[in-house]
Amino acid sequence: MPADNFEREKAIVNLQHEILNVDNLHAWFGDFHAVKGVSLAVQQGQVVALIGPSGCGKSTFIRCINRLHEEVPGARVQGRVTIGGQDIYGRGADPVRIRRYVGMVFQKPNPFPGLSIFENVAVGLKLGGISKRTVLDEQVERALRQAALWEEVKDKLRQPGTSLSGGQQQRLCIARALAVEPPVILMDEPTSALDPISTAKIEDLLHELKKSVTILIVTHNMQQASRVSDKTAFFLLGELIEYGETSQIFTNPARPKTEEYITGRFG
Partner 1 sequence: MAVFRPAVGDRRRKFKSHLMMLVLMAAAVLGSLPFLFITWYVLQKGLGAVNWDFFTQIPKGPGETGGGVANAIIGSGVLIFLASLSGIPWGMGVGIYLSEYSTGRTARILRFAVDLLASVPSIVVGIFVYGLIVVPFGFSAYAGGIALMIIMIPVVARSTEEILRLIPAHIREAGLALGVPRWKVILRIIVPGSRAGILTGVMLAIARVAGETAPLLFTSFGNQFHARGLNQATASLPVQIYTFAKSGFEDWEQQAWAGALVLVLFVLFINLTTRLLMHQRGAKGHAG
Q: Which residues bind partner 1 (CB under 8 A)?
A: 66, 68, 71, 73, 96-104, 106-108, 110, 112-115, 123-124, 127-128, 160, 162-166, 168-169, 173, 176-177, 180
Please, what is the minimum distance in Å from the beta carbon of residue 253 to partner 1?
Answer: 32
* Residue 5 vs 264, nearer CB to partner 1: 5
* Among the listed residues 49, 48, 47, 65, the one whose alpha carbon sits nearest the alpha carbon of residue 208: 47
CB of 263 to partner 1, least distance (A): 33
Cα separation, 224 vs 19, in Å, equals 23
Contacts (Cβ under 8 Å, ≥6 apart) of 164: 111, 117, 153, 172
Quote the least distance from Cβ 152 to partner 1, whole Å. Answer: 13
DSSP 156: -
Q: How far apart are CA 170 and CA 178, in angstroms?
A: 12
CA dist 174 and 213 (Å) reads 12
Least distance between partner 1 and beta carbon 255 (Å): 32
100 vs 231, beta carbon nearer partner 1: 100
Report the residue number, 112 or 150, with the smaller CB distance to partner 1: 112
Shortest distance (Å) from residue 237 CB to partner 1: 25
Q: Which residue number, 2 or 113, has a Cβ lying nearer to partner 1?
A: 113
Please report, for residues 170, 180, 182, 200, the alpha-carbon distance to residue 42 in angstroms, rounded to integers and kept in the order given. Answer: 25, 21, 15, 24
Question: Cβ closer to partner 1: 113 or 264?
Answer: 113
